Structure formats: C-alpha cells, structure tokens
Structure 1
Amino acid sequence: MAHSVKAGDKAPDFTLPSQAGEPVRLSDRLGERVVILYFYPKDETPGCTKEACAFRDSYEVFTDAGAEVIGVSSDSVASHLAFAGHHKLPFTLLSDEDGSVRKSYGVPSTLGLLPGRVTYVIDRAGVVRHVVNSQLNIGKHIDSALEIIRELQAERA
C-alpha cells in the first residue's frame, strides 16, 4: 500500500470511468473548482447510502461554494449508475474496480477487509487541504468538507 495522502500533499492524478461510462480525469476537474473526493466502501450499503444522500442533500451548498463532489468505490459503472439513479445523486461516481486509485491515495481498510471511508478536500491547485478518515462518523465527512470549502472560498475572495 502506498503512503496515505495527507493535507499538504499533491493529490495523485487519475482517470476513472463515471457512472455514465465517461472517463473522468481529476486534473481536468481542478482549476475552476475545489474537489471533494470521497472514497466509500460499497453502493447501496446502509452507511454508504447515508453518506451519499448527505452529500446529495448538501450538494447545492458545495456547488455554490465552488466545489465539486466526486465519489469513488470499487463498484462497477453499472452499479454506480443504478445507485445514483435510485438515490437521485447529482454528482459524479467513479468506478475504481481494481482499487488502483484507492491504493494511490493510501486509503486504509477497516479490519483489513472493508475498504475505508476517507474524504479529501483538494484545492484548485491540486493540493490536498484536508482529510477526513472515519468509517462510522459519516456526518463528520460532510461537515468538515463544508467548513474547509468555506475557508477556501474566503481565502479566494
């Protein structure tokens, strides 16, 4: 496993397919926007559904603050398409089926089995500004990300 990406590190660039099957490159999403990149274990599980719906419910606040939300798991493009449709998720979900991007960020596993739940706030220059690593405290991911987004927005003003 690679070292864990920390605040102050350059975010590793990658290209993964979205739920629509389109390639998404992280570096193409930066510049104009801050990216909230969140890794989660699995589509349609209780905690992951709660997290995705919390990001959905705060989506307008994130976009108004100049941020884009992107979720990543090892689920397939088809699984992401169904998950996004079922819960009306307005943001991009990326399929990291071989786990290579998860590994490049050093996202830990829980008990060595369950893929970890980690959120990265990446500024417009591609620098990780904040990391939230909590498998169970889902609200912390959204609240912390919103706080950092607001700080970055204030710095830019």
Structure 2
Amino acid sequence: MKELKVGDTIPHFIAKDTNGNDFDSATVVGHKPLVIYFYPKDNTPGCTAQACSFRDQYEDFKDLGAEVIGISSDNLASHQQFAKRYQLPFILLTDPDKKIRKLFGVPTGMFGLLPGRVTYVTDRNGVVQMVFDSMLATKHIPKALAALKKFV
C-alpha cells in the first residue's frame, strides 16, 4: 500500500454518496481544488467535531473554489443519518470495503486499531498539495484552509 504524498495525483475512484448515487472522482478532479478527508466513524466524538468544523467553515472552502469530501467505511444509512443530524453541506462517501482508503494509502491509527484520519488538499488539477495525518480531529480544518490559500 503506497501512501499518497505531496506531488502525487489523486487516483480515480467511484463511491456511493449520501443520496445513494455513484460519485465519480473524475467529475471534480481536474475541475476544482479538493479537500478529501478520511475519518474513522460517523457519530463518534472526534469525527463529529471534525465534520461540524468543516461544516462551520464550509463557506470559506467554497469561497476558495474548493469542494470538501469526507470518506469513511460507514454504510449509506449511517452517512445519511450523520449528514442530516449535523446538517453537513458537503459530500460524504461510503467506502465499506476500504478500497479508496487503500488506494490513497491511508494508514491505520492507534496501533492499527482505528482507521486513520488523514486530510488531502489538491489543486484544481488533482495534484496533492498537502497531506495532514493526525488523530486530532479539529486540527485538520485550519491546516486545509491554510494549504488552499497558498495556491488558490
């Protein structure tokens, strides 16, 4: 499993979004900057804090022309409930078999017990400009905004 690094291009992937539709990464990669964040689980304290922080600053990301995409292995029903409960305005994708997580090379955290929490920021061409790997959930949002502001 090769971890994506700064300078790599985001790999192509397809996953179900919260509406049950197929989301094809080709519809956004090469069109706008992206903030793709992998998180362990819906409705857990850290993941909820992270999602709500992205929600609260979503307009700042949109103002920079970026789209935010959250990915976890939770199922569609879980994502739908999570998005509705916390009024999340951005895309959540299901990755039940962890194929996308493996494609990006997201490491596991907590001695291999938890899926890792990693945020990738890409430019409009899909080239990774920042990788932030930290279980400190709310630290991802200011890091992602700062990275975007450097190249937008």
Kindly state the Cα deviation for residue 32 of structure 1 after the two structures are TM-superposed: 3.0
Instruction: Please give the alpha-carbon distance, in whole angstroms, between the structure 1 residues aligned to 2:94 and 2:137.
Output: 21
Deviations, residues 14-52 of structure 1 (Å, cap 9, x unaligned)? 000001111111121123311100000000000000000
Which residue pairs with 1:13 in the alignment? 12
Q: Which residue of 2 aligns with 1:127?
A: 127
**Could you tell me how far apart the structure 1 residues matched to 2:139 and 2:7 are?**
20
Cα deviations by residue, 1:67-115 (Å, 9 ceiling, x for unpaired): 0000000000111000000000000100000000001111111111200
Total equivalences in the alignment? 151
CA distance in 2, matches of 1:38, 1:95: 12
How far did 1:6 drift? 0.6
Percentage of matched positions with identical amino acids: 50
Do the aligned partners of 1:36 and 1:122 also contact (CA within 8 Å) in 2? Answer: yes
SS in 2 for 1:63: helix
State the AA in 2 paired with 1:78: A
Instruction: Read off the aligned partner of 1:20 and give its amino acid letter.
Output: N
Q: Is the 8 A contact 2:10 2:29 kept in 1?
A: no
Counterpart CA distance in 2 for 1:44 and 1:139 is: 15
| Partner amino acid, structure 2, of 1:109 | T
| Unpaired runs of at least 5, structure 2 | none
CA distance in 2, matches of 1:130, 1:27: 20
- Residue 49 (structure 2) aligns with: 50
Give 1:140 shift. Answer: 2.2
Structure 2 counterpart of 1:74: 73
Structure 1 match to 2:24: 25
Cα distance in 1 for residues equivalent to 2:21 and 2:122: 22
Describe the SS at the equivalent of 2:77: helix
Name the residue aligned to 2:145. 146
- Please report the RMSD computed on the Cα atoms of aligned residues, expressed in angstroms: 0.9
Q: Which runs of 5+ in 1 are unaligned?
A: none
Name the amino acid aligned to 1:123: D
Provide the rounded CA distance (Å) in 2 between the counterparts of 1:151 and 1:6.
17
